[in-house]
Amino acid sequence: DTGVSQDPRHKITKRGQNVTFRCDPISEHNRLYWYRQTLGQGPEFLTYFQNEAQLEKSRLLSDRFSAERPKGSFSTLEIQRTEQGDSAMYLCASTSGTLDYGYTFGSGTRLTVV
Amino acid sequence: DQQVKQNSPSLSVQEGRISILNCDYTNSMFDYFLWYKKYPAEGPTFLISISSIKDKNEDGRFTVFLNKSAKHLSLHIVPSQPGDSAVYFCAARDTDKLIFGTGTRLQVFP
The mean pLDDT value for B52-80 works out to: 97
| Contact assignment for A99 to B93 by CB distance below 8 Å | yes
Residue of B nearest to A5 (CA): B43
Half-sphere exposure of B94 (CA within 13 A, CB side): 15
Position B40 confidence tier, pLDDT thresholds 50, 70, 90: confident
User: Is the Cα dihedral A51, A52, A58, A60 positive or negative?
Assistant: positive
What is d(CA B57, CA B15) in angstroms, rounded to the nearest whole number? 23
Residue percentage of chain B with pLDDT more than 70: 100
Q: Using one digit for the tens of pLDDT, what is the confidence trace for B75-108?
A: 999 999 999 999 999 999 988 899 999 999 999 9
Q: Which H/E stretch holds residue B3? A: none
The mean pLDDT value for A39-48 works out to: 94
Given a contact cutoff of 8 angstroms between Cβ atoms, the answer to whether B17 and B80 are in contact is yes
| Contact assignment for A99 to B32 by CB distance below 8 Å | yes
* DSSP assignment letter at A13: E
CA distance B10 to chain A (A): 11
Widest CA span in chain B: 41
* DSSP assignment letter at A84: G
Through-space distance between the first and last CA atoms of chain A, rounded to whole angstroms: 35
Closest to A16 (Cα-Cα) out of A74, A84, A94 = A84
Beta-ladder partners of A20: A78
